[in-house]
Amino acid sequence: MLLQIDWNPSPILFKLGPVAIRYYSLMFVIAFMLGLYLMKKIFINEKISLEKLDSLFIYSVISILIGARLGHFLFYDPQFLIEKPLEVLLPFRFSPKFEFTGFAGLASHGAAIGVIIAMYLFSKKVLKKPMLFILDRIVVPVAIGAMFVRLGNLMNSEIIGKPTNSDFGFVFKKLGEDFPRHPAQLYEAISYLVIFIILWFTYWKTDKKQKSGYIFGLFFVLLWTARFLVEFFKEKQVEGGENWILGLNTGQMLSLPLILVGLYFMFRKTKAQI
C-alpha cells in the first residue's frame, strides 16, 4: 500500500467571483515566466537587445495557446471544431449555459507547429536573424515549460495512465476509481525536466549552438521520443479513434515524423539557414 497514492486534489486554487483560478492555469503562468527569465539570460549571452524579448514573449504566448488549442481539435476532436468554432478559441462556452472554462484541451503537437510559425515571423520581422538561430535557443525554456504543463494535467487528474494491475500507482479519486493507474503525467514531466537539463548543458557547455539547427533537432528527438514512449502508459484520449498501424495511437503517429525531422537537423551536413 505504500506504493499506492490516493490522488484527489482540487483543480481550483481559489475563486475570484465567477472566475476560478486553477492550478493548470498557474502552471502555464509559471512556464511562461520562467521561460522569459531563461531567454533573458540567453539574450544577454548572445548580446541581443532585451527590447526584443517583449516581442518574443508575445509571439510565444499567442502561438502556443492558439497552436495547442487548434491542434487539440484538429487531431482529436475535429467535429467540435466544425460545430462550435467560437468555443475553440475563446476561454468560455455558451451552452448549455455560459461558463468560463479556460483553455481546456491543448495538444503539444499543435503547440510545436504554432511556435515554429511564430518563430519564423519573429526572426524575419523582429530579430533579423535566421529562423534556426531562435529555434535553437527557445527550445531550451520550452522543455521546462512542458514539464509544468504536465504537472497541471496531474492536478486536473487528466491525461491519465493505464491501470497498473498492481499495488503501484495513483488512484484518481476524482474519477470515482479505486484502483491504481500509471501517473503518466508525472512520467512525462520528469522526462521533460531531464530534457531541459540536457539542452541547458548543450547550450552553455558545448559548441553545438554554433551548428545551426542542432539544438532544435536534439530537442525534437528527445521530446517526441519521450512522448512516444510515455504514450504506451496512457489511456486513449479519443475512444475509437486511437488505433493506428501496429496499435499506435494518434500521439505516437504524430511524434514519429517529428523525431525524423529532429534527426535531420542534428546530422545534416549542410548549414543551410531558413
pLDDT at 235 over 60: yes
pLDDT at 137 over 50: yes
Per the model's pLDDT, the better-predicted residue between 97 and 228 turns out to be 228
In a domain, 229, yes or no: yes
Tell me, what's the pLDDT at 95? 60
Domain count across the chain:
1
E runs forming strands in the chain: 4-7, 12-16, 19-22, 92-93, 99-100, 169-172
Q: What confidence tens digit (pLDDT) does each residue in 161-185 have? A: 999 999 899 999 999 999 999 999 9
Tell me, what's the pLDDT at 213? 95
In a domain, 179, yes or no: yes
In a domain, 273, yes or no: no
In a domain, 156, yes or no: yes
- Tell me how far apart the alpha carbons of residues 13 and 41 are, in angstroms, rounded to a whole number: 31
Tell me, what's the pLDDT at 272? 44
Percent of the chain beyond pLDDT 90?
61
Host domain of residue 94: 4-9+21-267
In a domain, 112, yes or no: yes
pLDDT at 112 over 90: no
Per the model's pLDDT, the better-predicted residue between 78 and 69 turns out to be 69
Q: What confidence tens digit (pLDDT) does each residue in 27-54 have? A: 989 999 999 999 999 999 999 999 999 9
C-alpha closest to that of 162 among 215, 234, 108:
234
**pLDDT band, residue 19 (cuts 50/70/90):** confident
In a domain, 188, yes or no: yes
In a domain, 51, yes or no: yes
Cell 468554432: give the residue. Answer: 85
Q: For residue 235, how many other CB atoms are within 10 A of its CB?
A: 15
**pTM of the full structure:** 0.85
In a domain, 274, yes or no: no
- Tell me how far apart the alpha carbons of residues 264 and 204 are, in angstroms, rounded to a whole number: 22
Q: What confidence tens digit (pLDDT) does each residue in 242-269 have? A: 667 777 888 898 899 999 999 999 999 8
Q: What is the mean predicted confidence (pLDDT) over 69-91?
A: 67
Q: What confidence tens digit (pLDDT) does each residue in 204-222 have? A: 999 999 999 999 999 999 9
